[in-house]
């Protein structure tokens, strides 16, 4: 996806379109601490890039629109994007929230040539979601990745079999996987500037200097990459975490954050048809001290309320007096297929239908159809001062 977080913000806020948008911490709060999570293409001519200190981004373009990340919204859009991709192939290997490898070799019998499949994907993402994707189509993963990066924004780059060297030769060595700043400097010292120069060098010479890494670079430089697309592996845990824009001691904010994280994890459990047999809480304070606490649940669950209560109880056991909270995370562990007991057998003593699960799945359906903001917990709405103390009473209510 192209500038994914920033593009979602421009989608949701029409006034942001065509303007430099920077997603990250508040540059005026917290002494400008934090980094740029993403920036729109309009921000890049000013020199703003991802992972840049937010304070520097503000100095480069103080008139940019700075917004704090909304990870729940980005995750929602990611799920919808991947849902579109899965209609064309089951062979999908997600790399991150906004990027994946796809193998459409077998899909061509049903949907037509690979290039046509790629164009259909781009068109559906644009028409159904209002977002722009860039695609690289090639015989292997490395070439496809390079192609997708070179084509941004709104790119569609095709590397045809037999023309791999023609495509790669003029590119800088920094495009090779595994070439970071230190390796790049070393290769420059050896006289290499382009990928083609590495491809034309005898592999034995590279191995003598760089060891196995030399052969790996030589293979990539010649367009060779035999790694298959590996679909998602069975999950061992499902989690979500949140880093606060400013360190906090606000217990109501912590409670609401844990509730939101628990709901996100519960939603993913239901989507993937798992139950959680345990919960882990991750805590990090302003001194970067990280603590984890875990509990085994009496009854496996995929309901956010259960995860919330377990995580809240774990937070109560963390002694953070004298410090401020920087990050919280909630993870569901000990996963098992929904409908089975921990031993993998149906329960002999069924408790009957769980109306809370029915409610949660109904909410999932509404949100999938109309968006996450169509229905939400009352206590997750922005609280006014007079409502701030009433959060616990609305814990299980929806609006």
Dig out the tokens for 8 from the structure: 């979602």
Geometric angle at alpha carbon 148, from 147 and 152, rounded to 5°: 115
E strand or H helix at 399: none
Start-end of H helices in the chain: 4-12, 54-60, 71-86, 108-111, 114-129, 141-151, 164-168, 181-189, 195-199, 203-210, 212-221, 251-272, 304-316, 355-370
Distance between CA 44 and CA 90 in Å, rounded?
A: 35
- Closest by CA to 242, choosing from 225, 254, 230, 233, is 254
Q: What is the per-residue DSSP string for 85-118?
A: HHTT-S-EEEEETTEEEE--TTTHHHH-SHHHHH
Asked if residue 303 lies in contact with residue 263, where contact means CB atoms within 8 angstroms, the answer is: no
Cα 303 to Cα 7, 158, 232, 263: the distances in Å are 31, 44, 23, 8
Helix (H, G, I), strand (E, B) or coil at 179: coil
Which one is catalytic: 79, 99, 184, 207?
99
Helix (H, G, I), strand (E, B) or coil at 295: strand
Annotated active-site residue 241? The verdict is no
DSSP letter at 341 equals: -
CB-neighbour burial class of residue 276 (10 A; exposed 0-12, middle 13-18, buried 19+)? buried
Catalytic residue positions?
A: 99
């Amino acid at each position: 996806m192209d500038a994914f977080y920033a593009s979602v913000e421009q989608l949701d806020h029409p006034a942001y379109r065509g303007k430099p948008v920077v997603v990250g911490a508040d540059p005026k709060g917290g002494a400008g601490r934090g980094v740029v999570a993403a920036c729109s293409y309009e921000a890049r001519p000013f020199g703003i890039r991802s992972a840049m200190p937010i304070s520097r981004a503000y100095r480069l373009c103080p008139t940019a629109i700075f917004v704090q990340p909304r990870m729940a919204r980005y995750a929602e859009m990611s799920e919808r994007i991947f849902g579109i991709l899965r209609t064309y192939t089951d062979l999908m290997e997600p790399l991150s929230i906004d990027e994946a490898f796809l193998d459409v070799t077998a899909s061509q019998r049903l949907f037509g040539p690979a290039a046509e499949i790629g164009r259909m994907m781009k068109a559906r993402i644009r028409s159904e979601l209002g977002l722009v994707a860039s695609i690289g189509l090639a015989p292997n993963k490395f070439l496809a990745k390079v192609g997708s990066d070179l084509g941004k924004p709104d790119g569609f780059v095709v590397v045809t079999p037999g023309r791999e060297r023609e495509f790669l030769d003029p590119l800088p060595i920094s495009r090779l996987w595994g070439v970071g700043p230190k390796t790049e400097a070393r290769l420059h010292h050896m006289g290499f500037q382009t990928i083609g120069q590495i491809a034309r060098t005898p592999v034995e010479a590279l191995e003598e200097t760089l060891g196995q890494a030399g052969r790996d670079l030589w293979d990539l430089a010649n367009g060779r990459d035999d790694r298959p697309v590996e679909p998602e592996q069975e999950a061992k845990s499902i989690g979500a975490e949140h880093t606060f824009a400013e360190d906090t001691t606000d217990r109501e904010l912590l409670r609401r954050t844990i509730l939101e994280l628990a709901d996100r994890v519960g939603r993913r459990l239901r989507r993937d048809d798992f139950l959680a047999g345990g919960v882990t809480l991750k805590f990090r304070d302003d001194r970067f001290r990280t603590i984890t606490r875990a509990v085994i649940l009496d009854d496996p669950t995929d309901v956010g309320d259960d995860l919330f209560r377990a995580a809240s109880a774990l937070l109560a056991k963390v002694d953070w007096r004298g410090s401020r909270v920087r990050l919280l995370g909630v993870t569901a562990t000990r996963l098992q297929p929904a409908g089975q007991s921990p031993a993998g057998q149906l329960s002999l003593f069924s408790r009957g239908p769980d109306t809370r699960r029915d409610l949660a799945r109904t909410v999932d359906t509404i949100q999938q159809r109309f968006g996450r903001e169509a229905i939400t917990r009352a206590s997750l709405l922005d609280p006014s001062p007079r409502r701030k103390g009433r959060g616990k009473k609305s814990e299980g209510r929806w609006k």
